[in-house]
Amino acid sequence: MSDLISILQKPITIEKNASLSHAISELLKNKISRLIVTENGSSVGIITEKDVGLFLLEDDSEKNLDEIPISQIMNILTSVNESMSVEKCVEIMLEKEIGSLGVTSSQKGLIGIITKTDIARYYIQNYANKHTVGDVMTISYVSLDYETSLRHVVSEMIEQKISRIFLKNQDNEPQGIMTFRDLFHVALEQGNTDAVLDSSDPAISVVFTRKGFLSDSGFGNTIKAKDVMTSNFESVDFNEDLTVACEEMIQNKINGVGVRINGKLGGVVSKTDILKAIYIDNRSK
């Protein structure tokens, strides 16, 4: 059995004619970051947490989420043969900037999918004691005041092209983190209603039609980041072996963890950094 066969997973699927609301519900329910899109039993594409997140962040329509088909958002699924090495798969994922690959067999077609999570498990089994967290972490990270409006946080995520942002109080102390999954919960709560109540001014309540996160009058401007953020986020010390970060991400079903330097938040390490560590090791061989 090849290493690739041993780590692939059976994908969770969704029909091409399903709504965006249903796709978000499936991602949240299963705590996963992608769904294989099928039509008449055959795979026709993929929809990822990132695809949905970026669409929601930029959407300013008045359609509710049940009216938006996933066919409007899905992308082509990149696939590899079952005989390919895991290391070559890592190279392809980094080159194409994607988080998963379909795995095909000449006899059976699509037989599974590998994701960055599967690569993280592979790293634990095959690359222990190769790198510390500090070797591959990203030192810079984006943060905002947790009193900031959700709209401003979303705008920053779009501008910086990031899927997570740390939130701090006035004393510059980390209070939480905002990710696409936090935004998905807001989208499901607010995005299928015909109107949104703005009670930001205690003297008056105004009802607006839904216009997404970025609208001047939509729910993104009336909700504060602190009301949506995840208050507790995982972190590891920069001196620890990278496998420790892998285990934290796998156990908590998250894509990145904070990195502590001398007890303070000093950066972030993600599953993409784990792929880069594998790539660096094999490029030097």
pLDDT for 162-176, tens place per residue? Answer: 888 999 999 989 999
Identify each DSSP E strand in the chain by its residue range: 13-15, 34-39, 42-48, 79-81, 100-105, 109-115, 143-145, 164-168, 174-179, 195-198, 206-209, 235-237, 256-261, 264-270
Task: Tell me the mean pLDDT in the region 209-234.
Answer: 76
The confidence band for 53, taking pLDDT boundaries of 50, 70 and 90, is confident
141 vs 85, higher pLDDT = 85
Q: Which two tokens stand for residue 256?
A: 């990145």
Do 208 and 198 form a contact (C-beta atoms < 8 A)? yes
Task: Tell me the mean pLDDT in the region 117-141.
Answer: 94
Share of the chain above pLDDT 90, in %: 57
Residue 65's domain comprises 3-126
Burial class (CB in 10 A: 0-12, 13-18, 19+), 79: middle
Do 112 and 9 form a contact (C-beta atoms < 8 A)? yes
> Whole-angstrom Cα distance, residue 57 to residue 212?
7
pLDDT for the residue numbered 244: 98
Give the count of beta carbons closer than 10 Å to the beta carbon of residue 40.
Answer: 7
Look at residue 16 and tell me if it is in a domain.
Answer: yes
pLDDT for the residue numbered 202: 43
Query: Mean pLDDT for the chain?
Result: 86
Look at residue 193 and tell me if it is in a domain.
Answer: no
Do 214 and 206 form a contact (C-beta atoms < 8 A)? no
> Whole-angstrom Cα distance, residue 82 to residue 6?
10
Look at residue 175 and tell me if it is in a domain.
Answer: no
User: Domain tally for the chain?
Assistant: 1
The confidence band for 215, taking pLDDT boundaries of 50, 70 and 90, is low
Look at residue 111 and tell me if it is in a domain.
Answer: yes
For residue 34, give the nearest of 152, 151, 113, 133 by alpha carbon. Answer: 113
pLDDT for the residue numbered 73: 93
Q: Report helix angle 116-126 to 86-96, nearest 10.
A: 140
**How is residue 132 annotated by DSSP?**
B
> Whole-angstrom Cα distance, residue 33 to residue 26?
10
pLDDT for the residue numbered 157: 85
Look at residue 138 and tell me if it is in a domain.
Answer: no
Look at residue 99 and tell me if it is in a domain.
Answer: yes
Task: Tell me the mean pLDDT in the region 31-59.
Answer: 87
CATH code of the domain covering residue 36: 3.10.580.10
For residue 218, give the nearest of 240, 200, 245, 196 by alpha carbon. Answer: 196
pTM for the structure as a whole: 0.83
The confidence band for 258, taking pLDDT boundaries of 50, 70 and 90, is very high
> pLDDT at residue 121 above 90?
yes
Look at residue 103 and tell me if it is in a domain.
Answer: yes
Look at residue 62 and tell me if it is in a domain.
Answer: yes
**How is residue 141 annotated by DSSP?**
-
110 vs 189, higher pLDDT = 110
> pLDDT at residue 74 above 60?
yes
